[in-house]
Structure 1
């Protein structure tokens, strides 16, 4: 079983995005903050398909992949979808320290929310970081990936972007 889990986790990022049956989650129970304003994650997601990326400053793979996450977010912003990639830090330090880490240590201008409720991990059934969850317009999980992704992989980017803009929207 462990080997199967490792093999799945090691699969190319482009091969891993296959939306499944929606799994409901209580987004109102996850309270996030940006610049010390607490907001239920349900309001941040606002009824739209969303990519939720959960990370921490102390997580080495998170630190490595954040520049590529920033590039993908910039590409989404150019298409008017920048608000559809939501980053949530699970750090225990303050939001200001996390923002300073992104700007000063990594040189990134990357908006991130801070999990003030400490509920992101349990609510999304995450057992490590980084982790990425794709939510449908109703806020249900349709895809989950534990571990880093190759955010520069064109086929992954295309699949995620297509999911964010379903036909007819």
Structure 2
């Protein structure tokens, strides 16, 4: 009798895992599809379609710092280039997993009208400039990063989770706001949409 119960429990667990995997695969496909639609939290309805009756949300300015502690403002790029802003930290596994996509995008789009700002959440405790730089060097990434030393960017965008990626057009409108790990195709599709707008 005990063996029968154990077998039933094991079969039930296998079934649950299988159903969970099916659900995960289905939702991943749905979210990847949704991620290619240009939308912002302000305009997106349930299901990700754009409501045409609302204007796009304007990107809020913030100040971060480059390697030499010079100020870098988001507004420095508005009107000149499209901007992709990625908020990340070296202690964040999804941030680290998507980093190769941004490294490759920087190489692919270096001569295009798009600036990719890799904003490190440098709080001075959990993340420092040194830990961020060490991660970039260890992985062999060839990218400039900027540091949110005053938490200005984090507070401006009410960050409660990372990674998060904003796609901002040349006029300063947030075209798409993606929270969570981004796929390579969603990243590149949204950069292409900015460039072809």
Is 2:137 the partner of 1:107? Answer: no
Unaligned runs of 5+ in 1: 1-5
Q: List, as ranges, runs of 4+ consecutive aligned residues in structure 1 with deviation greater than 4 Å.
A: none
Could you tell me which residue of structure 2 aligns to residue 149 of structure 1? Answer: 182
Alignment pair present for 1:18 and 2:52:
no
Contact in 2 for aligned 1:88/1:115 (Cα 8 Å) = yes
CA distance in 1, matches of 2:141, 2:83: 21
Match of 1:161 in 2: 191
Structure with bigger gyration radius: 2
1:68 and 1:117 map into 2 onto residues whose CA distance is: 27
1:128-147 matches, cutoff 5 A: 128-147=161-180
- Residues in 1 aligned to 2:93 and 2:113: alpha-carbon distance in whole angstroms: 25
Contact 1:13–1:156, Cα closer than 8 Å, also in 2: no
Deviation at 1:82?
A: 7.6
Is 2:123 the counterpart of 1:89? no
- How far apart are 1:47 and its partner, in Å? 3.8
Displacement of 1:45: 4.7
What RMSD in Å do the two structures reach over aligned CA positions? 2.7
Contact kept? 1:126, 1:146, Cα under 8 Å: no
TM-score when scaled to structure 2?
0.66
Map 1:116-135 onto structure 2 (within 5 A): 116-135=149-168
Superposed CA deviations along residues 27-82 of structure 1, whole A, max 9, x for unmatched, are: 1xx111112112222114554221111111111110111122211221112xx128
Question: Pairwise mapping of residues 20-35 of structure 1 onto structure 2 (< 5 A)?
Answer: 20=39, 21-27=55-61, 30-35=62-67
Checking the alignment, whether the CA contact within 8 Å between 2:78 and 2:171 is kept in structure 1 is no
Secondary structure of 1:71's aligned partner = helix
**Is the contact made by 2:168 and 2:194 (CA closer than 8 Å) also made in structure 1?**
no
Classify 1:117/1:46 alpha carbon distance in 2 versus 1 (closer, same or farther; 3 Å): farther
Measured in 2, the distance between the counterparts of 1:96 and 1:37 equals 17
Aligned length: 154
The match for 2:84 is 51
